[in-house]
Amino acid sequence: MKLTSIPNGAPRSGGRVTHDDRTKRIIAAARTIFLKHGFDGASMDEVALNAGVSKRTVYNRFVSKEELFDEVARDACSQAFSFSVGIPEDAPIREYLTDLARCILESRLSRESIALLRNIAFRSPQMDSLASGYRTFGHDPVIEIASAYIHTQVEAGKLAKCDAGEAAQTFFSLVREPLESQILFGLSDTVNLNANIPRHARRAVDTFLAIYAAA
């Protein structure tokens, strides 16, 4: 099952923004700069230089720095947090949840995703596109897939009776923490993720099933 990105190419400002080759280069350049320097440290001159276009070309497509980075924020969120679950839903519960947990962690803990999450934590109160992009791509789809799966397993008598939405939130929190915060705050790094992610995923599922497994 794949958590897919919602299309984000709707024109803005009366159809100014189109996804031609130069627009794609501008968005890609702005995304790299935004993730490296944040919104305040990014400049339209640097975007134009890195995209290989003139500053006028940038402003022909995006009337302001804010409009460009609104587009970049949603584009970055849609790509960073999209993933595929590799096993079918009729697999054993522990196997399915462990694979789901691993996929969530792999999508969130790449270097680019960590840079994006830091920007989200810092800028989302002032930048609604980051907040809405995170909800749309980084939070709600995970809760929806986990909640639907948990509901199915409760109905089948394989998990204890519970509110599936609340259980999904618990699962998501157990999967993310403490590894995500450790990396976000520089207390750990991404060097050993190949070993840390499977181990953390198993631990999260063990804790979740200790709470929600059917008696």
The predicted pLDDT at position 19 comes to 65
Region of residue 14 (left: phi > 0; alpha: psi -120 to 50; beta: else): left
Q: What is the pLDDT of residue 15?
A: 41
Q: Which amino acid is at 213?
A: A
pLDDT at 191 (0 to 100)? 62
Query: What residues does 84 pair with on adjacent strands?
Result: 2
Nearest to 37 by CA among 8, 69, 62: 69
Class of domain 8-79: mainly alpha
Question: What is the model's pLDDT at position 190?
Answer: 64
pLDDT, tens digit, 9 for 90 and up, residues 11-53: 343 444 446 889 999 999 999 998 888 888 888 999 999 999 9
Q: What is the pLDDT of residue 187?
A: 77
pLDDT along the chain (215 residues), means of 10: 38 47 91 86 92 93 90 88 86 96 94 88 84 93 96 96 97 96 81 86 97 92
The residue extents of the domains of the chain are: 8-79, 84-212
Give the separation between CA 12 and CA 82, rounded to whole angstroms: 24
Looking at 12-160, which runs of residues are DSSP E strands? 83-84
* CATH no. of 84-212: 1.10.357.10
pLDDT of residue 12: 40
